[in-house]
Chain A
Amino acid sequence: MATYKGIKGVKVQSKASDPTASEAVGTVWYNSTSPTALKYAIQGTAAWAASVALPTATNNGAGFGIVTAAMNAAGYTPGGATTNCQTFDGTAWTEVGNTTEAAPHYGRRGAGTLTAGVIWGGTTQTVDTENWNGSSWSASGHMATGRHNSASLGIQTAAISAAGYTDPATSADTEIYNGSTWTTGNNVQTARQGAAGAGVTTAALIFGGNDVLTASETYDGTCWATTNSLNTGRSSATGTGDSVPVALCWGGANVSWAGIANTEKYDGTSWAEVADLATARGDGQEAGTGKTSALCIGGEPPRTTAVEEWADPVYTIKTVTVS
Chain B
Amino acid sequence: MANTYCTATNFGKGFFTHEDRNDFYLSGHAGDVWVVGNNAAGVSWINRVSGTAKVKADAQAIVDGKVEEAQVAYDASSAEEQARHPRPAKYILP
Contact = CB atoms under 8 A, between A and B. Distances in A.
Interface of A: 44-45, 47-53, 107, 123-124, 149, 165, 167, 193-194, 210, 235-236, 253, 255-258, 261, 275-276, 278-280, 283, 301-302, 306-307, 311, 314, 316
A278 B27 contact: yes
9 contacts: A44-B19, A44-B22, A50-B10, A256-B88, A258-B91, A280-B29, A283-B85, A307-B12, A314-B18
Contact of B85 (A44, A53, A253, A278): A253
Interface in B29-46: 29-30
Contact of B21 (A47, A167, A302): A47
B66 A256 contact: no
Contact of A314 (B19, B27, B80, B91): B19
Interface string B2-19: 000000001111111111
Given A49-B13, A279-B29, 9 more contacts: A50-B10, A52-B12, A256-B88, A257-B88, A278-B26, A301-B30, A302-B66, A314-B19, A314-B21
A210 B84 contact: yes
Given A50-B16, A53-B10, A275-B21, A302 B86 contact: no
Q: How many B residues touch the partner, as a band?
A: 20 to 34
Most chain B CB atoms below 10 A, which of A49, A52, A235, A236: A49
Interface string B48-85: 00000000000000000010011000000000100111
Given A45-B22, A149-B84, A236-B85, A261 B27 contact: yes
A236 to B, nearest CB: 7
Contact of A257 (B11, B15, B66, B86): B86
A280 B66 CA distance: 14
Contacts of B26: 278
Most chain B CB atoms below 10 A, which of A124, A149, A253, A257: A257
Nearest to B91: A258
B1 interface: no
Most chain A CB atoms below 10 A, which of B21, B26, B30, B88: B21
A235 B85 contact: yes
Contacts of B69: 302
A85 to B, nearest CB: 19
B58 to A, nearest CB: 19
A204 to B, nearest CB: 24
Contacts of B15: 50
A256 B84 CA distance: 12
A306 B27 CA distance: 13
Given A276-B27, A280-B27, A301-B70, A257 B89 contact: yes
Contacts of A276: 27
A107 B70 CA distance: 19
A47 B28 contact: no
Contacts of B87: 257
Nearest to A261: B27
A53 B88 contact: no
B28 A49 contact: no
Nearest to A90: B13
